[in-house]
């Protein structure tokens, strides 16, 4: 797990750098509180760093996203080569086995979940770390190259204009424009001398206007180049760090499942059962059953919505590294029940919705919301949280719902507590041009929130 | 870029050529007609390398001419955007210079010439670096990159640049090696 850590960090940085303002068009439910789903991509990527080969429906549930919406995002990432996906058919029988396993654990499965289990084709997705490194490196390379080319005004086709009749020509017409009497181009209609046209401004001002415009554009490009360097520095540094490390390889869905089946079977009779059934009758290994089961366990205690947090907690492997480095703040915090209650009291305003659920699990969710509210209040509260973290006994990964994303977004802008992100902030504030997504680093970071928060906690 | 492709053409042959050498006449006429022409689709036909098939002739009423569908193999040259070519400079002026790579005319405008090269007018107009080590004038050989092509039905014209790594004068003895 340790080796995966820097890669996850890379993914998170890249997500915030490049996929912050990716918005999925054609949202079917514009009514649902937030019409703006930018930032969802970042949340999804972050969630994926926490689980290898997750079933898309489970992921959707965990993120409280509509599965269609999630699929759209995943398809986008697949095109971007960040994510590998696998689709395969699963029979209803397998689904039953799956459900049975879940039932054994004493957990209630959401209706939606059951419905979906019976569907025939299931999609799984996983981050492709090796490819991500290449994609990110290539993307940065392209950005820099494009700017450099533009700076050198390479690959641009010169345009010419006739000052007297305003007729315009391009370099393609050069052959017809050549005059053998002097060394200029001449207009075909009025035989006036043509002037090279750099910009619209240039053509108006003529003469030395050319140079000014050119100079100004040059400065702008240079500025942009500088900002790219500055804002991508953490990303590039992370790339360098990762360069010599072997990328975590999960292999295909099949191989991954095979590798993990054994582990589940040993500890979990139900899982073994399910896998046996599937293999015996259909010849397809059902290792994923074991995994799903794990998710379900956590879910059962809490609400359906709490699914994501439950998943994370369930996977033993995942927990330790996160706690150490990325800092699943939420998880740590959530451990401490006392803290939760305190925070709930503090931030009552937004917790109203879920008060009904104040069972143990429901408390977790509320706690999360409370936590975000608390973030606003700056460092005083942070310190308090730190204490709480230490106290925490139950680990619950962050469960960020879509609605929360919107809220966080605004809040987070104000309080950047993260160490990493602090570096970015000054740049973001400074830059005026948003052409590059880099500028949005801070905002994105806020959304996913977990990473940054963790760091803070660690410091405290 | 060069391609070896098979093209087809309908050849009209005057009745006076009908006889034992009809086929030879047809081929020589084909070569004369086609070589050196340019089609927007395939580029310049550089050479005909063989005749694949000559179909049945059709006598045209009234004139007595016969139309033969002829399939022939030929080498064509078509410039592409991004392609690197070596070309000979044919003309230099203040706006840039023209060069030829075989049948293709290429124009390199002055803003696509490296900034350190300045235009020098005079008897032999040229572009020269400030230290005079590199000079582009008529008959110079340059390596350039095509950044744009204009393809008409019967003509191809290119825009090139020498403002990139490893581009520029290649015939200059000082710069060689």
Q: Does B94 touch chain A (CB under 8 A)?
A: yes
Radius of gyration of chain A (CA): 27
Looking at the predicted structure, is the pLDDT value of residue B145 above 90?
Answer: yes
Residue pLDDT, tens place only, A386-427: 766 666 544 444 444 444 444 444 444 444 444 444 444 444
- Quote the pLDDT of residue A417: 44
Residue A155 to residue A150: CA distance in whole angstroms: 8
Write out the two tokens for A180.
């053998």
Q: Are strands B104-109 and B156-161 parallel, antiparallel or unpaired?
A: parallel
Write out the two tokens for A215.
């100079």
A178: helix, strand or coil: strand
| A 168-197: CB under 8 A from B | 171-172, 174-175, 178, 183-185, 194, 196
Q: Which residues contact A305 (CB under 8 A, 6 or more apart)?
A: A64, A365, A399, A401
- A243 bridge partner residues: none
CATH number of A154-232: 3.30.40.10
Exposure string of A302-338, with b = 16+ CB inside 10 Å and e = fewer, is: bbbbbbbbbbbbbbeebbebbbebbbbbbbbbbbbbe
Phi, psi of A184 (to 5 degrees): -110, 170
CA distances from B64 to B10, B12, B25, B61 (A): 15, 10, 16, 6
Taking the alpha carbons of B36, B140, A160, A222 in that order, is the dihedral positive or negative?
positive
A185: helix, strand or coil: strand
CA distances from A130 to A2, A142, A249 (A): 16, 19, 8
Looking at the predicted structure, is the pLDDT value of residue A450 above 80?
Answer: no
Write out the two tokens for A76.
């986008």
The ipTM, to two decimals, is: 0.74
- Within 8 A of A184 by CB-CB distance, chain B residues are 93-95
Residue pLDDT, tens place only, A356-372: 444 566 667 777 777 77
Q: Does A435 touch chain B (CB under 8 A)?
A: no
Listed range (A372-386, A410-424, B69-83) with the worst mean pLDDT:
A410-424
Q: Which residues contact A144 (CB under 8 A, 6 or more apart)?
A: A225, A228
- Quote the pLDDT of residue A95: 47
B156: helix, strand or coil: strand
A417: helix, strand or coil: coil
- Within 8 A of B147 by CB-CB distance, chain A residues are 154-157
Distance from CA of A155 to the nearest CA of B (A): 6
Residue A370 to residue A350: CA distance in whole angstroms: 8
Q: Residue B92's closest chain A neighbor by CA? A: A183
CATH number of B2-77: 3.30.1490.120
Contact between residue B97 and residue B91 where contact means Cβ atoms under 8 Å apart: yes
Q: Are strands A54-55 and A121-127 parallel, antiparallel or unpaired?
A: antiparallel
Average pLDDT value for residue range A444-455: 44
Residue pLDDT, tens place only, A213-235: 667 777 888 888 888 888 889 88
Other Cβ atoms less than 10 A from the Cβ of A4: the count is: 20
Place B99 in a pLDDT band, splitting at 50, 70 and 90.
Answer: very high
Distance from CA of A232 to the nearest CA of B (A): 26
Contact between residue A347 and residue A403 where contact means Cβ atoms under 8 Å apart: no
Residue A265 to residue A271: CA distance in whole angstroms: 5
- Within 8 A of B159 by CB-CB distance, chain A residues are 157-158, 171-172, 174
Residue pLDDT, tens place only, A91-109: 655 544 444 444 444 333 3
Exposure string of A144-165, with b = 16+ CB inside 10 Å and e = fewer, is: eeebeebebbbbbbbbbbbeee
- Quote the pLDDT of residue B10: 94
Name the helix (H) or strand (E) containing A79.
Answer: helix A67-79
Listed range (A200-214, A227-241, A293-307, B70-84) with the worst mean pLDDT:
A293-307
So where are chain B's domains?
A: 2-77, 84-169
Q: Are strands B84-93 and B96-101 parallel, antiparallel or unpaired?
A: antiparallel
Say what angle helices A360-376 and A337-346 make with each other, to 10 degrees. Answer: 60
**Contact flag A158-B111 (C-beta cutoff 8 Å):** yes
Name the helix (H) or strand (E) containing A209.
Answer: helix A209-243
End-to-end CA, chain A: 25
Write out the two tokens for B140.
């110079």
CATH 3.30.43.10 fits B84-169, yes or no: no
Q: Does B105 touch chain A (CB under 8 A)?
A: yes
Residue A91 to residue A89: CA distance in whole angstroms: 7
């Amino acid at each position: 797990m340790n080796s995966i850590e820097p890669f996850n960090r890379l993914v998170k940085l890249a997500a915030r750098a490049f996929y912050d303002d990716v918005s999925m068009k054609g949202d079917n439910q514009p009514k649902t509180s937030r019409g703006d789903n930018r930032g969802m991509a970042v949340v999804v990527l972050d969630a994926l760093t926490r689980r290898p080969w997750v079933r898309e429906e489970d992921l959707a549930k965990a993120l409280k996203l509509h599965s269609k919406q999630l699929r759209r995002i995943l398809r986008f990432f697949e095109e971007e080569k960040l994510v590998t996906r696998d689709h395969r058919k699963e029979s209803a029988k397998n689904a039953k086995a799956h459900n049975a396993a879940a039932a054994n654990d004493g957990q209630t499965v959401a209706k939606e979940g059951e419905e979906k289990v019976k569907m025939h084709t299931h999609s799984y997705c996983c981050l492709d770390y090796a490819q991500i490194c290449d994609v990110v490196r290539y993307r940065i390379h392209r950005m820099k190259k494009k700017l450099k080319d533009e700076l050198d005004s390479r690959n641009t086709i010169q345009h010419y204009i006739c000052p007297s009749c305003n007729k315009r020509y391009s370099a393609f017409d050069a052959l017809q424009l050549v005059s053998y009497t002097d060394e200029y181009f001449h207009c075909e209609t009025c035989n006036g001398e043509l002037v090279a046209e750099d910009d619209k401004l240039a053509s108006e001002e003529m003469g030395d206007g050319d140079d000014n415009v050119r100079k100004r554009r040059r400065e702008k490009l240079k500025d942009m180049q500088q900002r790219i360097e500055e804002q991508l520095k953490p990303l590039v540094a992370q790339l360098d760090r990762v360069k010599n490390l072997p990328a975590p390889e999960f292999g295909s869905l099949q191989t991954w499942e095979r590798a993990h089946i054994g582990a589940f079977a040993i500890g979990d009779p139900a899982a073994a059962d399910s896998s046996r059934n599937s293999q015996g009758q259909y010849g397809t290994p059902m290792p994923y059953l074991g995994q799903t089961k794990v998710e379900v366990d956590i879910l059962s205690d809490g609400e359906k919505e709490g699914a994501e947090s439950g998943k994370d907690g369930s996977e033993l492997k995942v927990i330790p590294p996160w706690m150490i480095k990325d800092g699943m703040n939420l998880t740590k915090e959530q451990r401490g029940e006392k803290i939760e209650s305190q925070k709930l009291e503090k931030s009552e305003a937004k917790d109203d919705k879920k008060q009904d659920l104040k069972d143990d699990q429901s408390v977790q969710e509320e706690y999360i919301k409370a936590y975000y509210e608390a973030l606003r209040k700056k460092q005083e509260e942070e310190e308090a949280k730190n204490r709480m973290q230490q106290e925490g006994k139950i680990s619950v990964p962050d469960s960020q719902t879509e609605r929360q994303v919107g809220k966080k977004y605004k809040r987070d802008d104000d309080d950047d507590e993260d160490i990493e992100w602090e570096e970015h902030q000054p740049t973001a504030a400074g830059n005026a041009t948003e052409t590059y997504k880099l500028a949005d680093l801070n905002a994105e970071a806020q959304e996913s929130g977990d990473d940054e928060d963790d760091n803070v906690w660690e410091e405290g | 870029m060069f391609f070896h492709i098979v093209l087809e053409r309908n050849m009209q042959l005057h009745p006076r050529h009908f006889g034992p050498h009809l086929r030879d006449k047809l081929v020589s006429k084909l070569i004369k007609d086609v070589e050196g022409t340019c089609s927007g689709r395939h580029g310049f036909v550089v050479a005909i390398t063989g005749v694949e098939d000559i179909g049945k002739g059709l006598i045209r009423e009234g004139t007595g001419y016969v139309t033969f569908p002829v399939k022939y193999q030929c080498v064509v040259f078509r410039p592409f955007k991004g392609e690197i070519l070596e070309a000979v400079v044919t003309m230099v002026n203040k706006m840039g210079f023209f060069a030829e790579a075989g049948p293709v005319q290429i124009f390199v405008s002055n803003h696509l010439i490296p900034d350190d090269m300045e235009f020098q007018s005079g008897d032999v107009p040229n572009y020269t670096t400030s230290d005079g080590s590199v000079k582009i004038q008529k008959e110079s050989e340059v390596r350039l990159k095509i950044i744009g092509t204009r393809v008409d039905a019967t003509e191809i014209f290119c825009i090139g640049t020498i403002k990139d790594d490893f581009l520029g004068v290649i015939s200059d003895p000082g710069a060689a090696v």
